[in-house]
Amino acid sequence: MLEEMFKARAEVKRVLQVALYHDKLDGIKAGLRMFPSNRLIMLYHLAPQDVSRRELEERVQTYVDQVEEVLGIGVEVVQLKSNLFEDVFDTVKEIVKRYRSEYDDIILNLTEGDKILTCNALSSAFVFGLRAFWTDGVKPYVFPIIKLGYHRAISDAKLDILKAIQRSRDGVQSLEDLVMATGYDKAQISHHVNGGPQSKGLVELGLVETERLERGRLAIRLTALGKIFLTSLEEE
């Protein structure tokens, strides 16, 4: 009998639920009923037309206290920089990186997000292969897990350049920076970034964007697609 008890306990999955919050809590409450979880992370973005920061924080804190007391689970509240894709994507990425080894499953409750936040959170879920759901309070609709796998359709040299730009966080400020970071000469880097008659460059592929600075310097940054591409390689 003891063996069966230990086996049953070992089979219980630890679940992290990430829920979007805008101005209502009903969908978040329903999500916790439908998918019992060991921890809840609430993501919100405070837009100018929303309720005051103090009112929102008081409302959320009251709910957090209730969840922690009644359900006995930890709750974390995270304010997003914006509801735009790159900020949502970066936040979800950090959550996955931080908690993936600790939890057996990470699920995303989209119910109470605004339209833009919900769309961008769902796109992020696709990148990381997370379960996402929406509920009307009666039953959940679980979106299919669509793991976006980006195959190595670019050359090793282009990949080296992308990774060098990624390491610089805010992008490189000139082609010379990439020469130092990759070991390729300036002509090679220019070709891989800008492309040529017979091959598309990283700009045309939509993976980087460029900006002409003073003294002819060319700043190069990853686009949202470029970040997704590199993240998908990490996840494979």
Q: Give the pLDDT score at 5.
A: 44
- Give the torsion sign (CA, 87, 93, 98, 100): positive
Element (H, E) at 44: strand 39-44
Residues with Cβ within 8 Å of residue 117, at least 6 apart in sequence: 20, 22, 43, 45, 80, 83, 88
Q: Which domains, from first to last, does the chain contain?
A: 12-143 (3.40.50.10770), 156-235 (1.10.10.10)
Q: Give the pLDDT score at 236.
A: 58
Q: Give the pLDDT score at 160.
A: 92
Q: Give the pLDDT score at 16.
A: 97
Pick the closest to residue 131 from 176, 92, 79 (CA basis): 92
What tens digit of pLDDT does each residue of 171-189 get? 889 889 999 999 999 999 9
Is the whole-model pTM more than 0.85?
no
Q: Give the pLDDT score at 6.
A: 42
Residue 132: beta bridge partners?
108, 143
- The DSSP letter of residue 90 is H
What is each CA distance from 33 to 19, 49, 136, 140, 160, in whole angstroms?
Answer: 13, 31, 13, 11, 46
Instruction: Give pLDDT tens digits along the chain (236 positions).
Output: 545 544 444 456 899 999 999 888 899 999 999 999 999 999 988 765 555 667 777 778 888 888 888 888 999 999 999 999 989 999 999 999 999 999 999 999 999 999 999 999 999 998 888 999 999 999 999 998 875 554 555 788 999 999 999 998 778 898 899 999 999 999 999 999 988 887 888 998 888 999 888 877 889 999 888 888 888 777 65
Six token digits for residue 77: 């509240």
Q: Give the pLDDT score at 133.
A: 97
Q: Give the pLDDT score at 9.
A: 45
- The DSSP letter of residue 199 is B
Helix, strand, or coil (residue 28): helix
What is each CA distance from 63 to 26, 28, 43, 67, 197, in whole angstroms?
Answer: 11, 10, 14, 6, 59
